[in-house]
């Protein structure tokens, strides 16, 4: 017998989501929540991480009664191997995204495209200088060529370290060197993780976990950082600007195009094409007042940060945005795009358009998006959306709310500019205790958790305690919808944070970008540590992914911990079947890298734990608690 669906009020904290979930149920459309109900209860062994499918002598499921797989692997080995591969999957996603940006840079340097350009020559030269490339007296193309070569090499079989380790404090690099955790090449660490976890290789759980950390570091200080920095070079470094968020950004009188995924290479071009006067004129001919491009998930964050486009929603809003009935096209690149979006698009006039050969969707309209033909392809895609406006069923349109204001665009460069040109005022505010510390809240939604209850709950609890919050990924839309991304949100902050953010005219929760942009937070922590001449693990900072779901979030969490930052997860990864692995994750790593994970489902308790940690770190630095 089919299960009763859970009450809508239990699924999300948002009114726009509730209205669309009601509409979905009334129209007989299944969402992620009903599918979760069908999949629950999940397999216990898989939840514990104690099932293995790594060879055809198995699959094996180990337990107290049957403690060894066919090959003899015990729970520790199996859990560590599974977690290692999970992290490698996440590192691969972010890093392959970074590589795609190098390929766009290559197309620019080699003259294959004029649709993309080097927008930030100054930033390109700064990066080149940091990674040891000569810039004096050289043309921008010459410098770009060498940066491209250096970054391509970061993916290969380097024997020493990835280029951006030049940013890491020496004390941290020494920790990694001692542990054999120094990331050498991105693809190298990912491939080695796959090798180590083949039957009969790395059968020592702690050793596997050290390499998982090295793989994650190759993401954070390699692939992701390359993705962020080259996106800035090509599309511009974000600067503070205002925008709007929630489903109210979808406009009843306009052609609505949603961009979804992660990489700005496609979505930037879609936005540019949507401003084409001929396409706008055609939209008007068909009765629309214009063409509206709005964001979902991280490609939305990328465009929000640099271009200020409105944000329709985060991970669990992606299905619901289509259910408004007012979306002509959803254009996707890759990652976090539920295949169900094709099915739900099919319930309306919405065209689902995929653009990457590595992320095709059965039933979607496919474009093999290439730098050389990007603008032509983008115009074709926008044209499809415009023509679709005529097919919209006005009787099924329901846009449930008005949008809410948000402030975005906080790159490190923008923060330093706002501080008057250096990090010193931030350091002084930390020393004085006005800002007691900072926590990056990052990551996703997960239908197992009431949508955004923890993301928002934790942010509110932290700012009350004069702890600055830096948000990326899907947390940003949650923070925005909760009114935390506007300068007026200082009214919810403690007195110190209120004073500092008030004087700068910035919110107490800063939107720092997409998932790959967690590398901006790493860079900021490294710069603060270098300024204070300490290790990153000495800073009064933390990281949290309260509602995470993805392999990429696990990679982010692990590179944060390995970089010395205590990291909170709202629910555990599938490791609890091994005491060795679990103990290492939540305690043992502290002795090795100066930080560990903690798992806590309650946002108030989580804030208290961060508060205690920040007090201890401040005390150790000789500062007031």
Residue 316 contacts ligand MSK per CB under 6 A: no
Residue found by looking up tokens 């449930």 in the block? 400
Q: With 0-12 CB in 10 A as exposed, 13-18 as middle and 19+ as buried, what is 65?
A: exposed
Residue 58 contacts ligand SF4 per CB under 6 A: yes
**Among 220, 199, 103, 200, residue whose Cα is nearest residue 151:** 103
Of residues 442-501, those binding ligand SF4 (CB under 6 A): none
**Among 182, 177, 202, 179, residue whose Cα is nearest residue 192:** 202
Residue 288 gets which letter from DSSP? -
Residue 71 contacts ligand SF4 per CB under 6 A: yes
Among 9, 59, 290, 624, binds ligand SF4 (CB under 6 A): 59
Residue 12 gets which letter from DSSP? B
Of residues 191-230, those binding ligand SF4 (CB under 6 A): 199
Residue 236 contacts ligand SF4 per CB under 6 A: no
State yes or no: 444 annotated in a binding site.
yes
How far is 347 from 34, CA to CA, in rounded Å? 17
State yes or no: 511 annotated in a binding site.
no
State yes or no: 60 annotated in a binding site.
yes
CB of 193 to ligand SF4, least distance (A): 15
Residue 54 contacts ligand SF4 per CB under 6 A: yes
Instruction: Name which of ligand SF4, ligand MSK, none residue 315 binds, using a CB cut-off of 5 to 8 Å depending on partner kind.
Output: ligand MSK
Residue 546 contacts ligand SF4 per CB under 6 A: no
Applying CB under 6 A, what is the total number of residues that bind ligand MSK? Answer: 15
**Among 305, 77, 107, residue whose Cα is nearest residue 203:** 77
Residue 443 contacts ligand MSK per CB under 6 A: yes
Binding segment toward ligand SF4, per CB under 6 A, in 66-74, 93-101, 164-172, 559-567: 66-74
Q: Which residue is nearest to ligand SF4 (CB)?
A: 58
Length of the chain: 625
State yes or no: 46 annotated in a binding site.
no
CB of 441 to ligand MSK, least distance (A): 11
Contact present, 319 and 31 (Cβ < 8 Å): yes
How far is 221 from 229, CA to CA, in rounded Å? 11
Residue 73 contacts ligand SF4 per CB under 6 A: yes
C-alpha distances in Å from residue 35, one per residue of 39, 317, 448? 6, 15, 11
**Among 458, 500, 492, residue whose Cα is nearest residue 478:** 458
Among 297, 378, 525, 526, binds ligand MSK (CB under 6 A): 297
Q: Which is nearer to ligand MSK, 32 or 500 (CB)?
A: 32
Binding segment toward ligand MSK, per CB under 6 A, in 22-30, 342-350, 373-381, 550-558: 550-558
Among 57, 281, 417, 620, binds ligand SF4 (CB under 6 A): 57
Among 218, 378, 444, 558, binds ligand MSK (CB under 6 A): 444
State yes or no: 525 annotated in a binding site.
no
Residue 89 contacts ligand MSK per CB under 6 A: no
What is the DSSP secondary-structure string of 153-176?
Answer: HHTS--SS--GGGGGS-HHHHHHH
CB of 546 to ligand MSK, least distance (A): 11
**Among 322, 263, 252, 261, residue whose Cα is nearest residue 292:** 252
- Report residue 357 as tokens: 């050969």
Of residues 503-522, those binding ligand MSK (CB under 6 A): 514-515
How far is 143 from 129, CA to CA, in rounded Å? 10
Among 222, 264, 310, 473, binds ligand MSK (CB under 6 A): 473
CB of 92 to ligand SF4, least distance (A): 21
Of residues 131-170, those binding ligand MSK (CB under 6 A): none
Contact present, 299 and 309 (Cβ < 8 Å): no
Residue 298 contacts ligand MSK per CB under 6 A: yes
**Which conformational region is residue 14 in: left (phi greater than 0), alpha (psi within -120 to 50 degrees), or beta?**
beta
Beta carbons within 8 Å of 28's beta carbon, 6+ residues apart:
none
Beta carbons within 8 Å of 126's beta carbon, 6+ residues apart:
none
Packing angle of the helix pair 170-179, 205-218 (nearest 10 deg): 140
Binding segment toward ligand MSK, per CB under 6 A, in 71-79, 546-554, 592-600, 603-611: 546-554
Residue 45 contacts ligand SF4 per CB under 6 A: no
How far is 160 from 462, CA to CA, in rounded Å? 39
Instruction: Name which of ligand MSK, ligand SF4, none residue 295 binds, using a CB cut-off of 5 to 8 Å depending on partner kind.
Output: none
CB atoms within 10 A of CB 528: 21
Residue 409 contacts ligand SF4 per CB under 6 A: no
Residue 60 contacts ligand SF4 per CB under 6 A: yes
State yes or no: 336 annotated in a binding site.
yes
Instruction: Name which of ligand SF4, ligand MSK, none residue 281 binds, using a CB cut-off of 5 to 8 Å depending on partner kind.
Output: none
Binding segment toward ligand SF4, per CB under 6 A, in 65-73, 115-123, 308-316, 484-492: 65-73
Q: Which is nearer to ligand SF4, 43 or 70 (CB)?
A: 70
Residue 459 contacts ligand MSK per CB under 6 A: no
Q: Please say whether the dihedral angle defined by the alpha carbons of residues 479, 483, 484 and 486, taken in this order, is positive or negative.
A: positive
- Report residue 364 as tokens: 């979607």
Contact string 248-277 vs ligand MSK (x = CB under 6 A): --------------x---------------
Applying CB under 6 A, what is the total number of residues that bind ligand SF4? Answer: 14
How far is 353 from 258, CA to CA, in rounded Å? 10
CB of 74 to ligand SF4, least distance (A): 9
Residue 355 contacts ligand SF4 per CB under 6 A: no
- Report residue 253 as tokens: 């009188």
Binding segment toward ligand MSK, per CB under 6 A, in 31-39, 520-528, 548-556, 602-610: 548-556
CB atoms within 10 A of CB 150: 18
- Nearest 5 degrees, angle CA 111-CA 164-CA 232? 45
Contact present, 261 and 267 (Cβ < 8 Å): yes
Q: Which is nearer to ligand MSK, 344 or 474 (CB)?
A: 474
State how beta strands 241-245 and 404-408 pair. Answer: antiparallel
Q: Which is nearer to ligand SF4, 197 or 544 (CB)?
A: 197
Q: What is the CA radius of gyration of the chain?
A: 24
Beta carbons within 8 Å of 122's beta carbon, 6+ residues apart:
none
Q: Where along the sequence are the contacts to ligand MSK (CB under 6 A)?
A: 262, 297-298, 314-315, 336, 443-444, 473-474, 514-515, 550, 552-553
Q: Where along the sequence are the contacts to ligand SF4 (CB under 6 A)?
A: 52-55, 57-60, 69-71, 73, 78, 199
């Amino acid at each position: 017998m089919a299960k009763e669906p859970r009450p809508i009020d239990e699924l999300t904290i948002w009114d726009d989501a509730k209205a669309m979930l009601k509409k979905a149920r009334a129209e007989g459309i299944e969402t992620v929540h009903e599918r979760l109900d069908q999949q629950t209860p999940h397999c216990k062994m898989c939840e514990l991480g104690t099932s293995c499918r790594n060879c055809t002598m198995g699959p094996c499921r180990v337990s107290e009664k049957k403690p060894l797989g066919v090959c003899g692997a015990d729970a520790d080995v199996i859990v560590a191997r599974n977690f290692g591969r999970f992290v490698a999957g996440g590192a691969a996603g972010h890093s392959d995204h970074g590589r795609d940006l190098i390929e766009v840079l290559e197309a620019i340097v080699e003259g294959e495209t004029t649709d993309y350009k080097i927008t930030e020559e100054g930033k390109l030269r700064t990066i080149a200088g940091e990674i040891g490339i000569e810039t004096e007296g050289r043309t921008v193309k010459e410098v770009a060529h060498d940066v491209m070569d250096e970054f391509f090499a970061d993916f290969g079989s380097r024997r020493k370290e990835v280029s951006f380790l030049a940013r890491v404090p020496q004390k941290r690099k020494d920790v990694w060197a001692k542990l054999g955790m120094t990331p050498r090449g991105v693809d190298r660490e990912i491939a080695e993780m796959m090798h180590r976890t083949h039957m009969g290789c790395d059968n020592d759980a702690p050793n596997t976990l050290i390499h998982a950390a090295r793989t994650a570091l190759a993401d954070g200080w390699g692939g992701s950082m390359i993705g962020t920095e080259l996106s800035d070079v090509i599309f511009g470094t974000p600067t503070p600007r205002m925008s709007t968020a929630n489903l109210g950004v979808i406009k009843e009188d306009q052609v609505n195009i949603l961009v979804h995924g992660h990489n700005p290479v496609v979505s930037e071009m879609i936005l540019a094409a949507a401003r084409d006067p001929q396409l706008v004129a055609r939209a008007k001919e068909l009765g629309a007042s214009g063409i509206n491009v709005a964001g979902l998930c991280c490609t939305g964050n990328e465009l929000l940060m640099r271009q200020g486009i409105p944000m329709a929603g985060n991970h669990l809003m992606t299905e619901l945005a289509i259910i408004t009935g007012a979306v002509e096209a959803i254009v996707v690149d890759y990652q976090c795009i539920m295949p169900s979006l094709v099915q739900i698009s099919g319930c309306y006039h919405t065209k689902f358009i995929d653009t990457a050969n590595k992320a095709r969707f059965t039933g979607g309209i496919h474009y093999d998006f290439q730098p050389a033909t990007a603008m032509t392809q983008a115009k074709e895609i926008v044209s499809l959306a415009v023509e679709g406006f005529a097919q919209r069923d006005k009787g099924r349109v329901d846009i449930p709310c008005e949008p809410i204001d948000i402030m975005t665009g906080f790159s490190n460069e923008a923060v330093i500019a706002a501080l008057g040109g250096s990090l010193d005022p931030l350091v002084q505010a930390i020393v004085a205790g006005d800002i007691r510390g900072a926590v990056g809240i990052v990551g996703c939604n997960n239908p197992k958790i009431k949508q955004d209850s923890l993301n928002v709950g934790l942010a509110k609890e932290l700012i009350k305690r004069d702890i600055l919050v830096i948000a990326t990924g899907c947390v940003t839309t949650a923070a925005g919808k909760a009114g935390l991304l506007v300068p007026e949100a200082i009214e919810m902050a403690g007195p110190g944070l209120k004073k500092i953010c008030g004087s700068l005219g910035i919110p107490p929760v800063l939107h720092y970008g997409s998932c790959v942009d967690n590398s901006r937070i790493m860079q900021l922590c490294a710069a603060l540590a270098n300024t204070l001449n300490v290790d990153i693990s000495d800073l009064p900072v933390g990281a949290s992914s309260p509602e995470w779901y993805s392999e990429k979030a696990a990679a982010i969490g692990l590179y944060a911990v390995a970089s010395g930052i205590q990291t909170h997860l709202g629910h555990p990864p599938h490791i609890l079947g091994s005491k060795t692995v679990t103990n290492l994750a939540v305690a043992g790593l502290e002795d090795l890298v100066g930080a560990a994970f903690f798992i806590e489902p309650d946002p108030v308790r989580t804030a208290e734990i961060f508060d205690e940690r920040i007090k201890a770190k401040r005390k150790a630095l000789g500062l007031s608690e």
